[in-house]
A and B are shown apart, each in its own frame.
Chain A
Amino acid sequence: MSKLSHLSRLEAESIHILREVVAECDRPVMLYSIGKDSSVMLHLALKAFHPALPPFPLLHVDTTWKFRQMIEFRDQTARRVGMDLIVHVNPDGVAMGINPFVHGSALHTDIMKTQGLRQALDRYGFDAAFGGARRDEEKSRAKERVFSIRSAQHRWDPKRQRPELWRLYNTRKVKGESLRVFPLSNWTELDIWQYIHREDIPIVPLYFAAERPIVERDGALILVDDERMPLVPGEKPRLRKVRFRTLGCYPLTGAIESHADSLTAIIGEMLVARTSERQGRIIDRDGAASMEKKKQEGYF
């Protein structure tokens, strides 16, 4: 009897979760955030439903502050896999001129991501949304269920989460309620990289080290991705060889200095890494238990 490796077990578990949602929910959608976890999740969906295409669209909640290379990669990917891609931007946020440089990361994230996501889910009537979150990312996520029930107001109530036994997921909900489903719950960052390597999954080039124009803000290395980046007098972007361990809105995402320009080099760096990946995310530093609070408000 051949023994399955841990990656093959994780793969099978994720595929099982994806299929369960498609079988039991009316209108699922995959939140596609363009990052490496989304790339893996999309790859798993393609495998789960082969030879059919995954029977749901991709949804990207665009904050208008994503890296340009992310947007290019997003559109290429949708064309490559042949799935429908819905892009939603919170029009209220655009009207208010929400800008992370001016309004700070908390307000920007709330309006452009959290509110934007709710709008999109309501507008299309999706009753289940796949997200690429992993339990190893953050403390409060370690207790998140694979299937997380949200009220009609998209709120997460830690007391109402259902016990999950064996491989049995309770997908039942009343009208208006919806599910957030996390097929990558049991993956770690290292698993993700190993799997990208094993399956040769395309990822955004920003993950690989290259010379990029950088300014330093509060110790974070910020890429000057477009002209909206305000520079203080005398500040000059400097070309530095950097890469990103995690991708989000460019003003809120710090780069790391690196020479890792291949997958094996990235994995090599990870093996000696002493910093966890969310450190690059300014969003998590907004005070203790910040992620849990955002989640209760409907952030993914």
Chain B
Amino acid sequence: MNAELSPPATDVNTWLQAQSRKDLLRFITCGSVDDGKSTLIGRLLYESRLLLDDQLEALESDSRKLGTQGDELDFALLVDGLAAEREQGITIDVAYRFFDTERRKYIVADTPGHEQYTRNMVTGASTADLAVILVDARKGVLTQTRRHSYLVSLLGIRRIVLAVNKMDLVGYSARVFEDVERAYRQFAARIGLTDIVAIPVSALCGENIIEVGASMPWYRGPTLMQHLESVPIQDDAGAQPFRMPVQWVNRPNQDFRGFAGLIVGGSVRPGDLLRVLPSGFTSRVARIVTANGDLQQAVAGQSITLTLEDEIDISRGDLLAAAAAPASVSDKFEATIVWMSDEPMLPGRPYLLKCGARTVTAAVAQLKYKINVNTLEELAARQLELNEIGLVNLNLDQPLAFDPYTLNRDTGGFILIDRINNNTVGAGMLQAALRPAENVHPPRANRSVQKNQRACVLWFTGLSGAGKSTIANLVEKKLFGMGRHTYLLDGDNIRHGLNRDLGFTDADRVENIRRVGEVARLMTDAGLIVLVSFISPFRSERRLARSLLGPGEFFEIFIDTPLEVAEARDPKGLYRKARAGKIRNFTGIDSPYEPPENPEMHIDTGRVSAEQGAEQVIGHLRIAGMIDRDWVFIP
């Protein structure tokens, strides 16, 4: 090496500075056999001037010995690594290639086109942000193009580059290119792929790979490289709620108990309230510990160690999730499975299922159908063979915290492992949890299930100034902190809007409560826990409201405060006005209050504080099975 060639140190420092801002794009190349994938990648490496002298020498000598391009360099030889496949002349495994530009580092998965190696393509696609799908301009969209596009869409890749290759063999014809593009877009739309950039290329001749080719003046779009350099990087994980599977519990001594893992969704800061799943316990983040000191924030993609404020039982396999938006927990799922083993998948046979850091035993309860990836037809099937894809119902022996795969690849993707030979035999994507009576899908229950809760009405009744709103507000705050979806109806938001037309006569009071009851019922239909805070002095109206809800869905909460106490508080000065005769029909003064006879909860504010009262409500809900861990699971 000639040392004089080295750039001066200041340039290196500038360069290193720029490098620290560089991001990472992972993509896969797929297409049919002989579409020229390896040639395309070899060409990318070659033209990016990333091939080094000795690699080039080896390529020249290999090209002469094994090449298929006469005296020309055979770029496919750069990428086809295993000796066996050199002889066969095809790629039979996933190969990862690396190259850098000024803007980005790239990891390319070169995935095989041969039908029997679909599992490798799925493997390559599972970590990719973008797919380059190659089509031979002479052949157009083939069965395997459709298969690969379907797999790419199944694995959650949204950005597609359609590289129409071998344009040199069709005379660089704009018509051919346009026909292929149109046919492809038509198919792709059916499987939900719409973010498609089509580029006519010749990998062999280097046209439109890095530089704009002279042979296709009719094409005005970017070259492949220009597109890869400028495409925004998909960052779905960062936008999701916080998720971190606990990989390992770090206990170097009595005083330290840290939970180590890689953040797979959202971000976290000290003080954030987290929920441990599936146990359901909550605690706040105390510290984000790293070897370089504590962090004030950590984001998706980082490996960290968290300590929590409370001593709660957490072990490997648990999921730490944002308390306000926890993952669902279930032991029954609907999932799509890609089968990767020579031995078929048999319903009823137990396999190990690994999702995040958790491994459980799972069996397919029902194979609903398999998918013909060429026609997207759903076919009845008794088992799945190698490379087949099916929709199944899965039963697990333990509950698992998860998100639908479309929301989060890490908390929704899983592998299946054979219990005897330990091979990875399948991969799957969780879609939704199932209820036990899965054929009865009442939409009403579904909305609750989706929110991981049981909808109900908490009806706070009591005198004006009794403390209904104070306690209801506290309860709502607590529920919200536990990740429940709630809404509070009270005089402020109902009387000033929906019921603006009503006064305080007995008839208007009845109508007022009737409307509130109906609104509360609609909100429980929507899956919410509804808190209602109204004096609601008459038993008959409260009974009416109760009759609108199902059994066990209506909790009457009597906020019991003696009139003298409520009147002494008089927070809004209403009692004073009523005593002075300025307000008519005021409950407790000149209109009766009928205390509940059998309320679900009775809170005596003379004996407990508002905070204690709110805790009492939460405790009752827990005992009633509304917010206990038991039904964080879906029953």
The reply to whether A3 and B23 form a contact with Cβ atoms under 8 Å apart is yes
Pick out which of these stretches binds chain B: A125-133, A164-172, A224-232: A164-172
The reply to whether A168 and B98 form a contact with Cβ atoms under 8 Å apart is no
A272 with B289, Cβ < 8 A, contacts A9-B24, A166-B126 known: no
The reply to whether A143 and B413 form a contact with Cβ atoms under 8 Å apart is no
The reply to whether A165 and B1 form a contact with Cβ atoms under 8 Å apart is no
The reply to whether B248 and A23 form a contact with Cβ atoms under 8 Å apart is yes
Closest-by-CB residue of B relative to A262 is: B9
The reply to whether A260 and B413 form a contact with Cβ atoms under 8 Å apart is no
The reply to whether B9 and A264 form a contact with Cβ atoms under 8 Å apart is yes
List the 5 shortest-distance A-B pairs measured between CB atoms, nearest first. A52-B252, A139-B81, A15-B303, A50-B291, A259-B3
The reply to whether B1 and A256 form a contact with Cβ atoms under 8 Å apart is yes
Pick out which of these stretches binds chain A: B11-19, B327-335, B444-452, B609-617: B11-19
A257 with B1, Cβ < 8 A, contacts A1-B267, A168-B354 known: yes
Selected contact of A269 from candidates B1, B53, B352, B357, CB within 8 Å:
B1
Task: Give me 9 other A-B pairs in contact (C-beta within 8 A), A139-B81, A163-B424 excluded.
Answer: A1-B238, A6-B104, A23-B357, A49-B250, A162-B424, A165-B127, A168-B355, A188-B105, A267-B16
| A1, B55: Cα distance in complex, Å | 40
| A259, B2: Cα distance in complex, Å | 9
Most buried by A among B22, B260, B410: B260
Is there a chain B Cβ closer than 8 Å to A276's Cβ?
Answer: yes
Q: Please give, as numbers and ranges, the residues of chain B lying within 8 Å of A215 by CB-CB distance.
A: none
The reply to whether A268 and B6 form a contact with Cβ atoms under 8 Å apart is yes
The reply to whether B53 and A275 form a contact with Cβ atoms under 8 Å apart is yes
Selected contact of A276 from candidates B54, B100, B104, B354, CB within 8 Å:
B54
Nearest CB of B to A151, in Å: 12
A window 267-292: CB within 8 A of B:
267-269, 271-276, 278-279, 288-289, 292
Q: Please give, as numbers and ranges, the residues of chain A lying within 8 Å of B40 by CB-CB distance.
A: none
Selected contact of A272 from candidates B5, B267, B415, CB within 8 Å:
B5
Nearest CB of B to A140, in Å: 5
Most buried by B among A143, A158, A188, A190: A143
Nearest CB of A to B316, in Å: 5
The reply to whether B289 and A51 form a contact with Cβ atoms under 8 Å apart is yes
Most buried by A among B261, B290, B423: B423
Nearest CB of A to B564, in Å: 56
By DSSP majority rule, is chain B's interface helix, strand, loop, or mixed? mixed
The reply to whether B9 and A265 form a contact with Cβ atoms under 8 Å apart is yes
Q: Please give, as numbers and ranges, the residues of chain B lying within 8 Å of A5 by CB-CB distance.
A: 19-23
The reply to whether B316 and A23 form a contact with Cβ atoms under 8 Å apart is yes
B-contact 0/1 string along A157-198, CB 8 Å cutoff: 010111111111010111000000000011010110010011
Is there a chain A Cβ closer than 8 Å to B52's Cβ?
Answer: yes
A-contact 0/1 string along B68-83, CB 8 Å cutoff: 0000000000110111
| A229, B303: Cα distance in complex, Å | 47
| A12, B592: Cα distance in complex, Å | 67
B window 111-126: CB within 8 A of A:
119-120, 122-123, 126
Is there a chain B Cβ closer than 8 Å to A121's Cβ?
Answer: no
| A6, B233: Cα distance in complex, Å | 12
The reply to whether A289 and B413 form a contact with Cβ atoms under 8 Å apart is no
The reply to whether A172 and B52 form a contact with Cβ atoms under 8 Å apart is no
Is there a chain A Cβ closer than 8 Å to B417's Cβ?
Answer: yes
B window 518-553: CB within 8 A of A:
none
Nearest CB of B to A146, in Å: 10
Is there a chain B Cβ closer than 8 Å to A46's Cβ?
Answer: yes
Is there a chain B Cβ closer than 8 Å to A7's Cβ?
Answer: yes
Closest-by-CB residue of B relative to A187 is: B98
Nearest CB of B to A202, in Å: 15
Q: Please give, as numbers and ranges, the residues of chain B lying within 8 Å of A162 by CB-CB distance.
A: 423-424
Nearest CB of B to A65, in Å: 24
Is there a chain A Cβ closer than 8 Å to B209's Cβ?
Answer: no
Selected contact of A143 from candidates B82, B292, B354, B424, CB within 8 Å:
B82
Q: Please give, as numbers and ranges, the residues of chain B lying within 8 Å of A23 by CB-CB distance.
A: 247-248, 316, 357
| A51, B260: Cα distance in complex, Å | 11
Identify 9 residue pairs between A and B in the complex whose beta-carbon atoms are under 8 Å apart, listed by A's number. Answer: A1-B239, A16-B247, A51-B256, A52-B251, A166-B410, A186-B96, A190-B100, A260-B3, A269-B3
Nearest CB of B to A280, in Å: 10
